[in-house]
Chains A and B, each alone.
Chain A
């Protein structure tokens, strides 16, 4: 059962810079061979958390274990971790092969062994025959591959990636997302990636940890994070979400009967994380879970009349914003752009419909403390 033991255990970590608390109450177990992402807005402490695992920063409190060994007295250069830096940090005075072999030279290997491993690493990141290229002659995508090869050639127990794709253009970023994932599965090393891009995190990761203000809010698989977010913060950061303030009418063991102004009664499954909803539960519905039409839709648990206030065309989908009497915020409806999709114009009267099973209980409604939707 050795492979089931977590490769990294982060226990009760806190990091302070003077009076500023960058990270607190941080607990995390990373499994062997998993792709884990730390997701959060800038300044939430995700990079600090990553740097503490790497050993560039010391936690003010708590302990980090890698493969069972406590890391408190292990300096960064002796930790079984390697990092892909946001700027890639390719040594400008060395060529590609010497960059990739930089760490190997410390391991007392023969020249042939180093050359061999460097060649294999460059083939793995699909950069063969680039060994003699100077660092400043590389494109952004090539630099990133060199940074990856340089870290992976060290065979770390954990590979740490600090916003690895943020410097690439959109097209290249999407290619690299798939490639990083493929690479991670083929080398079988635990990857920990820091990102502020929810789509990047969702497409690549086995699990995601969402961070706000130095704390891990929720750790879960991308699917569950999307379908069962813990609270309003997580729900609005991962994907988009329509929020409705409701009043509690009745409650059963796991179902709440609620009613929202202008929308009517709904039956919502109780928040699975045990968050109390009180008398005014906040519920959420994903835009793509809503049906929109000119006639009253049949077969839906809830149907509401409204007026289109805005239309956003995304190519593969169209987002309609529908104003509902009794609700301050318009409700977003995402429709896949089939060629037979009916276009609604701003000002059109429309019906929207949804099932009770699409409604998510996000706990008690609160006026403040939520990032804007």
Chain B
């Protein structure tokens, strides 16, 4: 008995080993290294391994860092809001208004068939000074000279990311809408509700889990995105990740880069928690 038990638990450990190794080396160790770095300091070309809060003090005092953090959260919030707002009607359409669900779901994933970088470049081509949009408007005669406010600013970042993330928002919202039992909607109608009241009192609250999932999937990576702001954001569109990149690269201050990363993680976690809790309680208040 004891032997078989031991071999069972040994089997269990053996089976979980690949996952432990994978998660341990690729997630836990790098994260621990980053936390450690954030308490160290850069001493010219060496790293001073004395534990200190100096980096955090500097970062909190620096108005530029504060500005970039706030801007990152605001831009990510706008991207999330816009994406979810645009995705919801599409998910609703696929879930309730069409028989060709498979076809539409495949169409939704089409942007994924090209690389993320290419999609950002495509927006650059569309929004640029001599881009598709400007030359189109010039040809039609709606404008006399190319618009310059559409590229290299935060709007361009929001627009580009809202497009890039669309499938990430559509799919979870679609799943949560799809799960709604149609007889619940009929029951709401039967109990005297118009189509709009039915949506607000039944469909919307029941799809909140999907909205939360979509929002987190978009918000978290957007705060840390640096490709899009670097390519289409211009000077006003730079975000915290661009600064972190500089710290690890040109500035060669890994401890400061790690500190900024940890701060970004904490801010994201805080904002996401507040968002989830308030959305959930809002959903619960609908009766």
CB pair A103–B192 under 8 Å, yes or no, is yes
CB pair B287–A154 under 8 Å, yes or no, is no
Q: Does B181 contact A (CB under 8 A)?
A: yes
Q: Does B206 contact A (CB under 8 A)?
A: yes
Closest Cβ of chain A to B185, distance in Å, is 9
For the complex, give the distance between the alpha carbons of A353 and B202 in Å: 63
CB pair B206–A77 under 8 Å, yes or no, is no
Within 8 A of B (CB), among A16-42: none
Closest to B195 in A: A77
For the complex, give the distance between the alpha carbons of A102 and B186 in Å: 13
CB pair A150–B186 under 8 Å, yes or no, is no
Closest Cβ of chain A to B143, distance in Å, is 48
Q: Number of residue pairs across A and B with beta carbons under 8 Å?
A: 65
Given A89-B181, A92-B206, A102-B283 contact (CB < 8 Å): no
Within 8 A of A (CB), among B258-287: 283-284, 286-287
Contact digits for A95-107, partner B, Cβ 8 Å, 1 yes 0 no = 0001001110111
| Chain A residues, CB < 8 A from B205 | 93
Closest to A98 in B: B287
Closest Cβ of chain A to B141, distance in Å, is 48
CB pair A106–B191 under 8 Å, yes or no, is yes
Q: Does A76 contact B (CB under 8 A)?
A: yes
CB pair A94–B287 under 8 Å, yes or no, is yes
Closest Cβ of chain B to A166, distance in Å, is 14
| Chain A residues, CB < 8 A from B194 | 77
Q: Does B183 contact A (CB under 8 A)?
A: yes
Within 8 A of A (CB), among B192-226: 192-194, 197, 201-202, 205-206
Q: Does A91 contact B (CB under 8 A)?
A: yes
CB pair B184–A89 under 8 Å, yes or no, is yes
Closest to A153 in B: B191
CB pair B206–A150 under 8 Å, yes or no, is no
Contact digits for A74-94, partner B, Cβ 8 Å, 1 yes 0 no = 011110011101110101111
| Chain B residues, CB < 8 A from A103 | 190-192
The count of chain A contact residues (Cβ–Cβ below 8 Å) is: 27
Task: Choose from B191, B197, B284 the contact partner of A150 (Cβ within 8 Å).
Answer: B191
| Chain B residues, CB < 8 A from A86 | 183
CB pair A82–B190 under 8 Å, yes or no, is yes
| Chain B residues, CB < 8 A from A78 | 192
Interface residues on B, range: 20 to 34
For the complex, give the distance between the alpha carbons of A93 and B181 in Å: 12
CB pair A85–B206 under 8 Å, yes or no, is no
Q: Does A54 contact B (CB under 8 A)?
A: yes
Q: Does A313 contact B (CB under 8 A)?
A: no
Q: Does B98 contact A (CB under 8 A)?
A: no
Task: Choose from A54, A87, A91 the contact partner of B190 (Cβ within 8 Å).
Answer: A54
Closest to B202 in A: A91
CB pair A91–B184 under 8 Å, yes or no, is yes
| Chain A residues, CB < 8 A from B286 | 93
Closest Cβ of chain A to B171, distance in Å, is 22
| Chain B residues, CB < 8 A from A106 | 191-193, 197
Chain B residues touching A, majority SS: helix
Closest Cβ of chain A to B118, distance in Å, is 41
For the complex, give the distance between the alpha carbons of A83 and B191 in Å: 9
For the complex, give the distance between the alpha carbons of A119 and B184 in Å: 22
Q: Does B188 contact A (CB under 8 A)?
A: yes
Contact digits for A145-184, partner B, Cβ 8 Å, 1 yes 0 no = 0000011001000000000000000000000000000000
Q: Does B189 contact A (CB under 8 A)?
A: yes
Q: Does A56 contact B (CB under 8 A)?
A: yes
CB pair B187–A85 under 8 Å, yes or no, is yes
| Chain A residues, CB < 8 A from B284 | 93
CB pair B186–A85 under 8 Å, yes or no, is yes
Task: Choose from B184, B190, B197, B202 the contact partner of A83 (Cβ within 8 Å).
Answer: B190
Closest Cβ of chain B to A37, distance in Å, is 20
Task: Choose from B187, B192, B283, B287 the contact partner of A89 (Cβ within 8 Å).
Answer: B187
CB pair B187–A91 under 8 Å, yes or no, is yes
Task: Choose from B183, B190, B197, B201 the contact partner of A76 (Cβ within 8 Å).
Answer: B190
For the complex, give the distance between the alpha carbons of A94 and B183 in Å: 15
Closest Cβ of chain B to A59, distance in Å, is 17
| Chain A residues, CB < 8 A from B206 | 92-93
Closest to B193 in A: A77
CB pair A102–B188 under 8 Å, yes or no, is yes
Closest Cβ of chain B to A197, distance in Å, is 20
Contact digits for B162-187, partner A, Cβ 8 Å, 1 yes 0 no = 00000000000000000001011011
Contact digits for A263-278, partner B, Cβ 8 Å, 1 yes 0 no = 0000000000000000
CB pair B183–A89 under 8 Å, yes or no, is yes
For the complex, give the distance between the alpha carbons of A322 and B284 in Å: 65
CB pair B283–A93 under 8 Å, yes or no, is yes
CB pair B287–A105 under 8 Å, yes or no, is yes
For the complex, give the distance between the alpha carbons of A282 and B188 in Å: 49
Closest to B188 in A: A102
Task: Choose from B183, B193, B197, B283 the contact partner of A85 (Cβ within 8 Å).
Answer: B183
| Chain A residues, CB < 8 A from B183 | 85-87, 89
Closest to B201 in A: A102
For the complex, give the distance between the alpha carbons of A83 and B189 in Å: 10
Closest to B197 in A: A106
Q: Pick the 4 closest A-B CB pairs, nearest first.
A: A103-B191, A89-B187, A89-B183, A106-B192
> Could you list 8 A-B pairs, sorted by A, with CB under 8 Å?
A54-B190, A75-B189, A77-B189, A82-B191, A85-B186, A89-B187, A102-B188, A102-B201
Q: Please report A residues at the B interface, Cβ cutoff 8 Å.
A: 54, 56, 75-78, 81-83, 85-87, 89, 91-94, 98, 101-103, 105-107, 150-151, 154
Q: Please report B residues at the A interface, Cβ cutoff 8 Å.
A: 181, 183-184, 186-194, 197, 201-202, 205-206, 283-284, 286-287
Q: Beyond A86-B183, A91-B187, A154-B191: 10 further Cβ-contacts under 8 Å?
A: A75-B189, A77-B191, A85-B186, A85-B187, A91-B184, A93-B202, A93-B283, A102-B287, A106-B192, A106-B193
